[in-house]
Amino acid sequence: MEVIQVDNYSAMSEKAARMIEEQICKNDRSILGLATGSTPLGLYEKLIEGHKTCGVSYKNVQSINLDEYLGLDKNHPGSYHTFMYENLFKEIDISMEHVYIPNSKPLSAGEECQRYDQVIERIGPIDLQILGIGSNGHIGFNEPGSDPNSTTHVVELAASTRKDNAHFFDSIEEVPTHAVTMGIKSILKSARILVLASGKRKAEAVKRLLNKDLSESFPASHLWNHEDVTLIVDTDAYKLVSQKGSEDLAR
């Protein structure tokens, strides 16, 4: 795992945006794995800026999102469809036909998971997967205890995740209890993975990740089974990583 330490959220977002743009520059038909949440918002702002000021084009790019809540209308302000459209897609030249997000109101959740796996199979492999990390170590919505061999599946959200995400809703009661997420196995099939972590709220999770707390109770630890992972972490999120931890990483 390559660890890049930066000063703050803005520097993290900038660095991540340049990595995505380099990927698109190398291959304008890149497949991006995209994430939602507070962490990538700054990254998406930088991508929009790069598109508007430097002409970076997403015309041939395809994107596959990690997850979506179950039970919300697609147009609900809290849905990940709305999040992606409002915070990125409507501002760049990506074709909405090239955008894949799990259906939030499928007739059958099980069939939706199968359909999404087929999409990943058909469109993928993902060239560059963006990941945030939950304060409980989740990746996508793969909560603690998730099966490392999982593909797309339905999850019951951890209470801590619903609390963390409540600020996107009017109240915590409105946060859905279930979601569809790409599984850990699907995520690890991506050619490269870029993990972003910013702020004190992520310090414990970053510490556990970098101290190689390898266990199913800490889903992000499965990233150590992938050979091309980069973590961009800011000073606040890095602050609990011990000196010893960083020396070990340097080896």
Other C-beta atoms closer than 10 Å to the C-beta of 84 total: 22
User: Which one of the spans 78-86, 126-134, 149-157, 180-188 is the region binding ligand PGA (CB under 6 A)?
Assistant: 126-134
- The span of 33-41, 86-94, 118-126, 212-220 binding ligand PGA (CB under 6 A) equals 33-41
User: Given the complex with ligand PGA, which of 34 and 56 has the nearer CB atom?
Assistant: 34
Which residue in 3, 14, 32, 37 binds ligand PGA (CB under 6 A)? Answer: 37
* Residue 185, SS3 per DSSP: helix
Residue from 78, 102, 134, 219 binding ligand PGA (CB under 6 A): 134
Query: Quick one: how far is CA 144 from the chain centroid?
Result: 16
% helix, strand, coil for the chain, step of 5: 45, 20, 40
Q: CA-CA distance, 101 to 36, in Å (whole number)?
A: 11
Q: Which residue lies nearer to ligand PGA by CB, 48 or 237?
A: 237
At 59, list the tokens: 């015309």
Using the rule CB under 6 A, is 132 a contact of ligand PGA? yes
Query: Catalytic residue at 138?
Result: yes
- Sole residue written with tokens 């600020």: 167
* Nearer residue to ligand PGA within complex by CB, 113 or 187: 187
Closer CB to ligand PGA, 37 or 245, in the complex? 37
Distances, alpha carbon 23 to alpha carbons 17, 126, 194, in Å: 10, 11, 12
Given the residues 143, 164, 234, 236, the one annotated as active site = 143
Shortest separation between residue 38's beta carbon and ligand PGA, angstroms: 4
Binding ligand PGA (rule: CB under 6 A), the pick from 10, 38, 60, 211 is: 38
> CB of 91: closest distance to ligand PGA in angstroms?
19
Of 134 and 176, nearer to ligand PGA (C-beta) is: 134
Task: Give the three-state DSSP class for 160.
Answer: helix
39 touching ligand PGA, by CB under 6 A:
yes
Q: How far is it, in rounded angstroms, from Cα 181 to Cα 175? A: 16
Annotation says 98 is catalytic: no
**Catalytic one among 65, 68, 136, 153?**
136
State the Cα–Cα distance between residues 168 and 223, nearest whole angstrom: 27
Locate the DSSP E strands across the chain. Answer: 2-6, 31-34, 62-65, 67-69, 99-100, 128-131, 153-156, 178-181, 192-197, 229-234
Q: Shortest gap between Cβ of 168 and ligand PGA (angstroms)?
A: 8
Task: State in angstroms the smallest separation of the CB of 141 from ligand PGA.
Answer: 8
Positions marked active-site: 67, 136, 138, 143
Q: Name the residues that contact ligand PGA, by CB under 6 A.
A: 37-39, 132-134, 138
